[in-house]
Amino acid sequence: MAIANLGLAAILAPEFGALGVAISICVSYIARTIGLDYIFWRKLDIDIFTFFRKSYAKLTPFLMFFVAISCALNLIQIQSWSFWVIKIFISIICYFLGLYLFAFNQSEKDL
């Protein structure tokens, strides 16, 4: 992956600058993920498609909750560093609350 990333960055960076490097990183990670998924599916006989379907179906309500909270927090105008810190703490609390409510299974909640 690193060799592909460096090769793509060398090609794209002169033309696009930092955006070209970011694109090369993204393409390298996507290629790695597809390659690993293929190995999991074909060689290790892991049903990767069912895994992704179950994982993302379970996380969809959490993502919707967190996006809604984030949009609401972006409406709050920040006037000082203290308000900014408070806004971050509210975001963190909402993130973990959303994970607990929507993403954790019962055994994780019992810990």
Q: Which of 1, 50, 47, 48 is nearest to 26 (CA)?
A: 1
Res 56 pLDDT > 90: no
User: Per-residue pLDDT averaged across 68-77, rounded?
Assistant: 85
CA distance 41 to 54: 16
Q: Which of 90, 106, 7, 2 is nearest to 58 (CA)?
A: 106
Report CA dihedral (101, 106, 107, 111) to the nearest 10 degrees.
50
What's the confidence (pLDDT) of residue 79? 82
CA distances from 50 to 32, 44, 56 (A): 19, 14, 10
CA distance 77 to 89: 15
Res 21 pLDDT > 90: yes
Contact 26, 15 (CB under 8 A): no
